[in-house]
Amino acid sequence: MNDRKSRRAKPRRRNGFIDILNGLLSLFVLGMLVACGVVLYGASQFYGDGPSSGETVFRVESGNGMGLTGQRLESAGLISNNMIFQIGGRVLDIKKPIKKGDFKIPAGASMADILRELTEGDPIRYAVTIPEGWTGWEVVQRLNADANLKGEISTLPAEGSVLPGSYDYVPGDDRNDVLSTMQKAMTDAVDEVWATRAPDLPIKTPEEMVILASIVEKETGVATERPEVAAVFINRLKQSMRLQSDPTIIYGITKGQSKLGRGLRRSEIEQQTPFNTYQIDGLPPTPIANPGIDAIKAVAHPDSHDYLYFVAATADPADGHVFASSLQGASGECRQIAGHRARGGKERGSGCRRCQGCDRSRSGW
């Protein structure tokens, strides 16, 4: 019996393998706890409120990826930790690239919100607007003056090659690229309109259509009467009459690089220049401005009438024009306007506002 008690009292040997396994299990559990803590901390940072106290506009430059964008966000105080931002993006397996442009980041936006905004949101809209009838020189002046664009336009675009309108861009875009977009828009518009033009027009090429459209554009700012004005010039071309359009004389003087700021002189009307349609037959060699799509369509689809003349209806350009089939009819309107001036009314520019087609300076009227 004493032997049995002695054997029971003898300590059991420890199994080294079990000890190692228990240690590893403890380390694993501890590691899992630490990892869970790290994950929970990272998630709280990634999805929790950000450090920014107010709305901020953040710019993503062209070519910036996740790494550089995260660094810049952290430097700007919009996120607390670039590494968490990077890891969060990888965990979410974001497929869409970060967009370039300016983005509005709300106050307290989380990293998740910011990442979603930069990959799925819309940048702040910037646009440059070119009014109808502007010349190539004016277009370049506006583009070069826009501080949000880079690069310099050193060569004037061909007159009539820009389609007026509003063009979106992202800050940092090159001015020459924006100009190219405007020119492509004009090419596409001209091709489309030319393909559906009315038959039997006295214009033979798309280039001639744009030239005449530029004259229509400069003759009237009233959109509804462009087809009527276009038809007057179409009728005159069909009858081999000179266009006798004042804006063509002005362009020959200024080359589209300034405003004349006064009425035309008799010497200027009588001067031989390639653009003076009082002195040349047919169309000038180039457009005198960049016509809008409505003026182009007006030339391609002019009204049907027999008018050969038009004159401003009143001193206000917004009132449009009065049209006539004969010079006598048009001159009657001119006399009414002259009487208005004599009674103290005002006309655009200095001197008489000649009706289109009326060479009053030489006739002595």
Geometric angle at alpha carbon 133, from 185 and 286, rounded to 5°? 80
User: Do residues 235 and 307 touch, judged by C-beta distance below 8 A?
Assistant: yes
Domains in the chain: boundaries: 56-120, 126-187, 200-363
Strand ranges (E), 7-164: 56-60, 101-105, 126-130
| Confidence band, pLDDT 50/70/90 cuts, at residue 155 | very high
pLDDT value at position 340?
A: 40
User: Do residues 159 and 287 touch, judged by C-beta distance below 8 A?
Assistant: yes
Phi, psi of 10 (to 5 degrees): -70, 125
Mean pLDDT score, 137-165: 96
| Confidence band, pLDDT 50/70/90 cuts, at residue 18 | confident
In words, the CATH class of domain 56-120 is alpha beta
**Cα(first)–Cα(last) distance of the chain, in Å?**
152
Mean pLDDT score, 336-341: 42
Alpha-helix runs per DSSP H in 107-174: 111-120, 136-145
Mean pLDDT score, 175-191: 98
pLDDT value at position 344?
A: 33
| Confidence band, pLDDT 50/70/90 cuts, at residue 362 | very low
pLDDT value at position 294?
A: 97
Listed range (69-73, 236-240, 318-322, 360-364) with the worst mean pLDDT: 360-364
Strand ranges (E), 131-213: 165-169
> What predicted TM-score, i.e. pTM, was given to this entire model?
0.76
Measured between alpha carbons, how far is 40 from 143 in angstroms, rounded to an integer?
50
Q: Is 54 exposed, middle or buried (0-12, 13-18, 19+ CB in 10 A)?
A: exposed
| Confidence band, pLDDT 50/70/90 cuts, at residue 147 | very high
Look at phi and psi of residue 235 and say left if phi exceeds 0, alpha if psi is from -120 to 50, else beta: alpha
Q: What is the pLDDT of residues 75-113, one digit of tens each?
A: 999 999 999 988 888 888 777 888 989 999 999 999 999
Measured between alpha carbons, how far is 312 from 316 in angstroms, rounded to an integer?
8
> In this structure, which amino acid lies at residue 219?
E
Select the more confidently predicted residue: 325 or 339.
325
Q: Is the pLDDT of residue 5 over 70?
A: no
Q: Is the pLDDT of residue 10 over 60?
A: no
Q: Is the pLDDT of residue 9 over 60?
A: no
Percent of the chain with pLDDT over 90: 59
Look over the chain and give the mean of its residue pLDDT values, rounded to a whole number: 85
| Confidence band, pLDDT 50/70/90 cuts, at residue 187 | very high
Q: Is 329 exposed, middle or buried (0-12, 13-18, 19+ CB in 10 A)?
A: middle
Q: What is the pLDDT of residues 266-319, one digit of tens each?
A: 999 999 999 999 999 999 999 999 999 999 999 999 999 999 998 888 888 888
Listed range (29-33, 223-227, 233-237) with the worst mean pLDDT: 29-33
User: Do residues 305 and 323 touch, judged by C-beta distance below 8 A?
Assistant: yes
Q: Comparing C-alpha atoms, which of 305, 321, 320 is closest to residue 231?
A: 305
Tokens linked to 126? 């910037």
Length of the chain: 365
pLDDT value at position 326?
A: 81
pLDDT value at position 339?
A: 41
